Structure 1
Amino acid sequence: MRIGGLASGMDIDKLVGDLMKVERMPLNKMEQEKTLLTWKRDAYRDVNKQLFELENMAMDMKLQRSFNSKSTSSSNSSAVTATATPNADNGNYQVNVTQMATTAYNFSESKLSATNSKIDPDASLESQEGNFKNAIEYGSFEIKTYGEDGQSTTESFEVTKDKSLNDVLSEISDSGLGVRAFYEESSDQVMIERTTEGNFNDTEFLGAEIGFNGSTAPFLANTLEIKNGEKQTDGTWKLNEKGGDDAVFTYNNGIEITAHKNEYTLNGVTFEMKSTGSATINVSNDVDSAMDKITGFIEKYNEVIENLNKQVNEQENRDYDPLTEKQKESMEEKQIEMWEEQAKKGLLHSDSTIRNALFEMRNEWYESVDTSGQFSQLSEIGIETSSNYRDGGKLIINENKLRQKLTEDPDSVSKLFTGEGNTEGIADKLKSTLNETVKSVERKAGKASSVPTTYTIGRDIVDVNSEMKAFQDRLNQIEDRYWSQFTQMEKAIQKMNSQSAQLMQMG
């Protein structure tokens, strides 16, 4: 039981509070230490985020397509357009499209509903027997379609009384045949069509792309009046199916080429056919794309090293320690924000890991790259390190010179970054340095998914937490002792007051 100054007249709560403020000072230091460790951990992780982004860009700079991408233009884009890979040869390509690839389709020869009736495609077939013009042929049937190299797919379907017309057509559409089947209400006919263009079948079912035997598929041939072929007066059969053609085009006024689709890749150039007609496709180096890649990477590099230089050179502000939770209670949010801005200065001052990374990266831009290309140093293509020491190793681009070298010899520019054979390029070296730095920083500060005991700062935070808990237990004991001592004092004073009152009465 705590007695709060009734006998002595003293403010025991305040006295104990003041005494505990002194006792709590080491705990406040621990709390500030924990806050500082947390800030450092987050600062390191922010560094790693920037380094990781730069590393990903360095990875992209190792790809030849970053420097040798191609641009294409067409003299008649309504007939042919094109895209080109970095391996495509520059120059003009003549294309004359004489036939477009088309999808095969077949449909009912006439309206399916009986006179003065209308089919309900969603009702059961049994309920629609009077609405169909033709008898409904129940039972099973097969459809066969064809793919590349003559490979075929066959699916079976069952027509039962409880199914609707749309049920059967949906089963055909959802099968692995690569076809669409649907009932078109206004024309009162069923359409069935391939989902890919091209001619893949020249032998079975009169060469139909959607093949079936009318005698064994009476639901298609008789009920829906979709026929594979029609017998001619001379006894031959004519294919009813429409479309299913291959694309045909002449290349450079010499070679006639057939393609199942309306696109075809030749010598790294993919021609996309839009309609019949002629077009001249021009393929050239896409200098703008390469410029964007290189300048974007350099800008990101400069941004990262500016930030890292700022952090390792920033001095600590020793007049501002991290605030404790108690201190924050008496401050406004803006005051807290301004205080912490000062307290966070110099968190990574003179950090050796970051300084070493900056030094290594700066050297790598200077190093020669020994390849079969005509360039061995970045200065030869217009990229140099700033001569102003305040820039901390930032890179400066002479855009006119870089554009000229990319136009003249993009392959040699590429080799500077990507290397050749066993020779590492600039991008390889930078990526290696960045990767090692990221790992080193992770050993110090971990990452969001890391367990605290697996990295240095995390272990330090765990230790501080343990110390704070133990010290808090000790403070609780000290506070109890103070209250016990003051309570005993109050009881003694109260007893003396009682005895004094009795003596006064006796007198």
Structure 2
Amino acid sequence: MPMRITGMASSGLDIDKIVTDLMRAEKLPAQKLYQKKQTLIWSRDEYRNVNKTLSQLTNAADKLRFSSNFSKLGASSSNESVVSATVKSGAKAASYSIQVNKLATSATLIGDELPVGTKFDETILANGTITVSNGTTDKNIELGSKTVKSVLNEINNSGLGVRASYDTKNNRITFVSETMGEKSEIKLTGDTAVLGFSSGVINKGDNAEVLVNGQSVSIASNSLDLDGVSLTLKGVSSSPVVVNVSKDISAVKNTIMEFVNLYNDTIDKLRSKSSESLFRDYKPLTDEEKSGMTDKQIELWESKAKSGLLRNDGIIEETIYSLRNALAQGLETSGAFKSLSDVGINFKSFMDGGISELGKLKVDEAKLEQAIKDHPDDIVTLFTQSPVADKTNPKDRFAQTGFADRIYQTLQNQSSKISKKIGNGTNSEAVDNSYYGNLLKDLNSKILSMDDRLERVETRYYKQFTAMEKAIQKLNSQGSWLSQQMG
């Protein structure tokens, strides 16, 4: 670090200011290197954001590459108020006739209105004992010195599986078993009158009685699993309810629609980045420049400095073209559908919204849904077909590849090109084997050399001014001596 000259110099000059001004001109080449490095770092971040955008579309295309994602099943009921159905893992396409003759119930006891003046959480009960039973386990509860509320809490916490509640509107107590069916039971004995019940009162639940494809089934709940299909019984029916388990057309259509929407969003983002305005006069700010600006001014300046860093970028333009080509070229297949337009997916024209909409997709949802319904296997083929041509013939293999796999491969290739250019890490200043990593390595080396040179130059300036000051001091001393001699 060069020695500073403090205090008033013999020459009367502000040496520090002079050196600072001289160094300002010397530092201009170094500042350009720092600005170039910052621009490189920002460009790397921009590419990384592009790769994130491509990754999202890659994941969407991946869902369409495999036939398993087209075989989702859905269940429908001809009378949802009686039986509802949902599909679980392992379900198979099937049809069931369900007639509900009786719903399963829980054991329930509803007491008489409590004596006038009884307050749920205030009235202290007289001495006595009640026994609550669930059919297999009994619980004795002392009533004395307790309120109705504390007695009910004790029942609820007893582990019997009996829920006790208080009806504030009708001033009654209700007991409901947490289990259902014939084994569900509640019995009260003892001094139960104080709670509004007769001693020895008992109630049992009922099993549900169901006809499944004509076969009588008795179950202790209102739910039933049939080969991966979960049925929920909601009401009694006088005639059978038909439950169909079949391919979920809506799920398949929605998966395709999600891909189309994300594809359009990706094209928008890529075009926006490639056509972004470039402001050449806005360079990265130096620390000295930032010191004289507000945070808002710095933010606005840097937003312009970062704009257009990927304008007309070759990789982005190639990605847009490659994606369109992957969807535009017909599929060589024996299936019913040879192109996306066959199922209602077409490229937008100028009439669909102007130049900004060109290259994006539009969907005739009715046509797509009908295609899924009428030709489910051909829809799968359209997106998932694997090529049979030899790998030495890439053109034929591409023509035989399903559209989802085409998009997936295209995105993988383009993402790989970006990664090769900027590296795979998340550190924007990382020096690696990527193109940008090597550029940063070269810049860092030049900056280090430049900083060393600037330090040497500044030291030389201070040495020169120090020598000048010593010479002036010597002349001043000699002048003072002569003045004294001539005195």
| TM-score where L is the length of structure 1 | 0.66
CA distance change for structure 1 residues 400 and 98 in 2, over 3 Å: closer, same or farther?
closer
Match of 2:49 in 1: 46
Query: Relative CO higher for 1 or 2, CA cutoff 8 Å, sep ≥ 6?
Result: 1
C-alpha contact (below 8 Å) 2:129/2:141 kept by paired residues = no
CA distance in 1, matches of 2:190, 2:428: 69
CA distance change for structure 1 residues 381 and 109 in 2, over 3 Å: closer, same or farther?
closer
Q: Are residue 499 (structure 1) and residue 478 (structure 2) matched?
A: yes
Q: Are residue 483 (structure 1) and residue 443 (structure 2) matched?
A: no
C-alpha contact (below 8 Å) 1:250/1:257 kept by paired residues = yes
Cα displacement (A) at 1:345: 1.2
CA distance in 2, matches of 1:28, 1:370: 58
Q: Give matches, 1:257-268, under 5 Å.
A: 257-264=217-224
C-alpha contact (below 8 Å) 1:23/1:475 kept by paired residues = yes
Q: Are residue 12 (structure 1) and residue 15 (structure 2) matched?
A: yes
Instruction: Give the SS at the match of 1:21.
Output: helix
CA distance in 1, matches of 2:185, 2:155: 14
Match of 1:413 in 2: 379
Query: Deviations 1:247-279 (Å, cap 9, x if unpaired)?
Result: 52454xx44444454244557765432111257
Q: Are residue 275 (structure 1) and residue 235 (structure 2) matched?
A: yes
Match of 2:408 in 1: 431
Of 203, 207, 220, which aligns to 1:245?
207
CA distance change for structure 1 residues 489 and 340 in 2, over 3 Å: closer, same or farther?
farther
Cα displacement (A) at 1:376: 3.2
Query: Deviations 1:26-48 (Å, cap 9, x if unpaired)?
Result: 33123212311221221122112
Instruction: Give the SS at the match of 1:272.
Output: strand
Match of 1:56 in 2: 59
Match of 1:134 in 2: 129
C-alpha contact (below 8 Å) 2:223/2:231 kept by paired residues = yes
Q: Give matches, 1:1-400, under 5 Å.
A: 2-3=5-6, 6-62=9-65, 76-83=79-86, 95-102=98-105, 104-105=106-107, 133-134=128-129, 172-173=158-159, 179-180=161-162, 182=164, 191=175, 193-195=177-179, 197=180, 199=181, 208-209=183-184, 240=202, 242-243=204-205, 245-249=207-211, 251=213, 254-264=214-224, 270-277=230-237, 278=239, 280=241, 290-312=252-274, 318-331=280-293, 333-334=296-297, 337-338=300-301, 340-347=303-310, 349-352=312-315, 354=316, 357-369=319-331, 373-385=335-347, 393-399=359-365
CA distance in 1, matches of 2:416, 2:139: 60
CA distance in 2, matches of 1:285, 1:500: 109
Instruction: Give the SS at the match of 2:129.
Output: coil
Cα displacement (A) at 1:98: 0.9
Instruction: Give the SS at the match of 1:55.
Output: helix
CA distance in 1, matches of 2:429, 2:287: 25
Instruction: Give the SS at the match of 2:104.
Output: coil
CA distance change for structure 1 residues 136 and 63 in 2, over 3 Å: closer, same or farther?
same
Structure 2 gaps, min length 5: 143-149, 194-198, 389-399
Cα displacement (A) at 1:441: 3.6
CA distance change for structure 1 residues 167 and 391 in 2, over 3 Å: closer, same or farther?
closer
* Higher deviation after alignment, 391-400 or 487-496: 391-400
Coordinate RMSD, CA, aligned:
5.3
CA distance in 1, matches of 2:184, 2:387: 49
Cα displacement (A) at 1:189: 7.4
CA distance in 2, matches of 1:243, 1:14: 97
C-alpha contact (below 8 Å) 2:185/2:204 kept by paired residues = no
CA distance change for structure 1 residues 448 and 157 in 2, over 3 Å: closer, same or farther?
farther
CA distance in 2, matches of 1:451, 1:9: 46
Query: Deviations 1:431-478 (Å, cap 9, x if unpaired)?
Result: 344345445544524354899356734676577567656654654454
CA distance change for structure 1 residues 90 and 246 in 2, over 3 Å: closer, same or farther?
closer
State, as a whole percentage, how many aligned pairs show the same letter: 30
CA distance in 2, matches of 1:491, 1:208: 111
Instruction: Give the SS at the match of 1:96.
Output: strand
Cα displacement (A) at 1:109: 10
C-alpha contact (below 8 Å) 1:119/1:132 kept by paired residues = no
Cα displacement (A) at 1:85: 8.0
CA distance in 2, matches of 1:450, 1:180: 63
Cα displacement (A) at 1:288: 5.7
Cα displacement (A) at 1:371: 6.0
Cα displacement (A) at 1:16: 0.8
